[in-house]
Structure 1
Amino acid sequence: MIAHAAMTTSCNSHWLQQRLLSCASPRFSLPKINASLKRRVQLSSRFPCRALYVDDEDYLLDAPVSAGDGFSFAGGKYSIEEGPSEKWFARGKWINAYAMKDGSKKARDPVFGLALGEASQVSDESLRWFCVEEGDSQNASVLLVHGFPSQSYSYRNVLPILSSEFHVIAFDWVGFGFSDKPQVNYGFNYTMEEYINAFTCLVESLALERMSIVCQGFATPVVLEFARRNEKKVDRLVLLNPPVTEQHAKLPSALSIFTNFLLGEIFVQDPLKAGENPINECGPYVLNEEDAMVYRRPYLTSGSAGFALQAISRELKKELKGLVKTSRQILSDDKWNKRTSVIWGSKDRWLELTGVQELAKSVGLKLTILEEVGHHGQEDFPEEVGAAIRASLKRPLLV
């Protein structure tokens, strides 16, 4: 059932002025780049205040309010037509992996202790992971691992580049995208050790004997530790802007804001701050409106999406320094015999390139620098990043 959004009929003039100024801000200026490369840099031609008017026929809710979970609400797309989120969901499937302790208890929100609706409850004793699988299963397998916070959707344009030669699987981490988002203290607490164990269970459920792994951003410590513990399963590693130097040990402000007392609880329930802002603020580019809605959607439909984001943000803030140190030690270990490549987008506003080149040279990492790419390279320039990933995956293995 499609219902018109109940929106306010007027727009505060001061807010409007500030919004116009922010859209004209130099932060959104675009560098000169090859026009033949597909970009996500174009700002939406729709003025964001347009949806505030009652007679705006284009702004529709994709579900009644009753479809929410009692803490958040269901929400928002710009057409009754099937959108990118629905199309991406149709390409995937559920994989059950990692049995939870106390997963049968009904979750309550951590602020007021109110019972959460079905959208925030885990449906089974094992976690459900959303996976998109493409390519011939007889080919070498490649896992595409998104960073924190993001979704497997970020790899949507990289999948076709790789699936012609590889068996490729992209998945949503627990707490993100379409995967389950258990409440903290209800079977999963979003610690790094839990993520490593859960990822191990996912690989077992996918029945992958050997694989290569492409991993982006702050998920790198999980993947590196998994590879260290499961050396015989992993052929190659391709790391996209991984935190591996001392300069990377501080959590970016766009994520640390979610760890604040009280304010954090509010901000993680804001679909703009929680969904799209981290993607936009980590580089010089912004999502177009359709893609931005995909990243907002988990925070529009489930309060647990925000609580999960807060939990992982707090874990990273507390443990990031140690995780970066451990990652660097793994890569520097003389016993580390994995063919490891690093693809670095030099426009990353979260993680500096400083120190990465020296590390790569000292431990023998293959480093590819992409000049116009930001932190989420697979969103910025999927063709260029996809080609770099493919080249890294085709490098000969060490004997």
Structure 2
Amino acid sequence: MSTIHFRSAQVDGVEVFYREAGTPGKPKLLLLHGFPSSSHMFRDLIPLLSNDFHIVAPDLPGFGRTDMPSRDTFKYTFDHLADIIDGLTEVIGFDRYIVYVFDYGAPTGFRLAIRHPERIQGIVTQNGNAYVEGLSDGWNPIRTYWENATVANRNALRALLTPETTRWQYVHGTTDESLVSPDGIALDNYYLARKGADEVQLDLFLDYQSNVALYPAFQAYFREHKPRLLAIWGKNDPFFLPPGAEAFKRDIPNAQVTFLDTGHFALETHASEIADAMRSFFK
């Protein structure tokens, strides 16, 4: 097990925090977190994989310990998040890498893939969606905001930013809630409570429609380049349904699809199983 370093780098005026572990020369692995989390979500996975990969796990802008620039000077869109992470990979020399995507990390990472297909050596998608059939009815309030971006519809989504909702996201679909550490939940809620964080997240809810619009482009990339792809999915996820995992095989017939009996934050309960699956898949 290697030492984990906590670093930061400047990318287009944004200080990006990231965790780094493993040995240079090993296959590079970029870990991209989701909402409302940060690279802290990989705290158990990184030690399990540090002998096998050179790992970097950044916090997206507006999340965790990466800068949260003012909305007056920084546009919170998924294109812009991808710009910053793309820049980070260049600053730190991640020229070819496997990308692990989860939730918001998926549209971020898939943008990197369609921009630079030659850099992607493989994809692990853990509840990281790219197909309409993967979207549950839980997206309906956000869809309403896409269709009519009124103040009332924006404010209706503030319920998704409460401490109660954060905890629900972590424990829903698990077979034993006592296996879910309260620390990740508390940390996510701490960052969500920062001044202005709610408006950042509401901006990203609105822009999520750009991800759905890009699904055909993501799928065209899968069909053309057929990257090695492991879809490992908490099957009880209330947001991203199992058909979304199965759909990868439509475009990448050799993709491996594995379901775990847990919810959205599958690493909270199944980090060892996910690490084992990754080592086996990329051996």
Common fold: TM-score over 0.5: yes
Give the CA deviation at 1:149: 2.8
Per the alignment, do residues 320 and 193 of structure 1 end up closer, same or farther by CA in structure 2, a change over 3 Å counting? closer
Q: Is the 8 A contact 2:248 2:255 kept in 1?
A: no
- Please say if 1:156 is aligned against 2:156: no
| Structure 2 residue matching 1:96: 3-state secondary structure | strand
Quote the residue 2:126 is aligned against: 240
Give the CA deviation at 1:295: 1.6
Q: Take 2:159 and 2:245, find their aligned partners in 1: how far apart are those partners?
A: 36
Quote the residue 2:255 is aligned against: 366
| Structure 2 residue matching 1:93: 3-state secondary structure | strand
Structure with the larger helix share: 2
Q: Is the 8 A contact 1:271 1:297 kept in 2?
A: no
| Structure 1 residue matching 2:142: 3-state secondary structure | helix
Alignment counterpart, residue 346 of structure 1, candidates 225, 235, 243: 235
Q: Take 2:159 and 2:233, find their aligned partners in 1: how far apart are those partners?
A: 33
- Please say if 1:196 is aligned against 2:82: yes
Q: Return the letter of the residue paired with 2:222.
A: L
- Please say if 1:147 is aligned against 2:34: yes
- Please say if 1:331 is aligned against 2:222: yes
Quote the residue 1:94 is aligned against: 8
Aligned CA RMSD, in angstroms, stands at 2.8
| Identity across matched positions, percent | 19
Q: Is the 8 A contact 1:215 1:240 kept in 2?
A: yes
| Structure 1 residue matching 2:70: 3-state secondary structure | coil
Q: Is the 8 A contact 2:171 2:263 kept in 1?
A: no
Q: Is the 8 A contact 2:33 2:103 kept in 1?
A: yes
Report the TM-score, using the length of structure 1 for normalisation. 0.61
Q: Take 1:258 and 1:288, find their aligned partners in 2: how far apart are those partners?
A: 33
| Structure 2 residue matching 1:199: 3-state secondary structure | helix
Q: Is the 8 A contact 2:181 2:268 kept in 1?
A: no
Per the alignment, do residues 242 and 255 of structure 1 end up closer, same or farther by CA in structure 2, a change over 3 Å counting? farther
Question: How is 1:9-24 mapped onto 2 (pairs within 5 angstroms)?
Answer: none
Give the CA deviation at 1:179: 1.1
- Please say if 1:308 is aligned against 2:200: yes
Alignment counterpart, residue 178 of structure 1, candidates 54, 58, 65: 65
Q: Return the letter of the residue paired with 2:10.
A: N
| Structure 2 residue matching 1:182: 3-state secondary structure | coil
Q: Return the letter of the residue paired with 1:157.
A: D
Per the alignment, do residues 218 and 328 of structure 1 end up closer, same or farther by CA in structure 2, a change over 3 Å counting? farther
Q: Take 1:355 and 1:337, find their aligned partners in 2: how far apart are those partners?
A: 17
| Structure 2 residue matching 1:139: 3-state secondary structure | coil
Quote the residue 2:213 is aligned against: 322
Q: Return the letter of the residue paired with 1:94.
A: S
Alignment counterpart, residue 288 of structure 1, candidates 181, 190, 194: 181
Q: Is the 8 A contact 2:78 2:211 kept in 1?
A: no
Q: Take 2:25 and 2:252, find their aligned partners in 1: how far apart are those partners?
A: 33
Quote the residue 2:191 is aligned against: 298
Q: Deviations over 1:323-344 (max 9, x none)?
A: 3333223212x3x142222222
Q: Take 1:203 and 1:364, find their aligned partners in 2: how far apart are those partners?
A: 29
Q: Take 1:180 and 1:201, find their aligned partners in 2: how far apart are those partners?
A: 15
Quote the residue 2:150 is aligned against: none
Q: Take 2:75 and 2:174, find their aligned partners in 1: how far apart are those partners?
A: 29
| Structure 1 residue matching 2:186: 3-state secondary structure | helix
Q: Take 1:266 and 1:165, find their aligned partners in 2: how far apart are those partners?
A: 40
Structure 2, unpaired ranges of 5+? 146-152
Per the alignment, do residues 331 and 284 of structure 1 end up closer, same or farther by CA in structure 2, a change over 3 Å counting? farther
How many residue pairs are counted as aligned between the two chains? 271
Per the alignment, do residues 351 and 174 of structure 1 end up closer, same or farther by CA in structure 2, a change over 3 Å counting? same
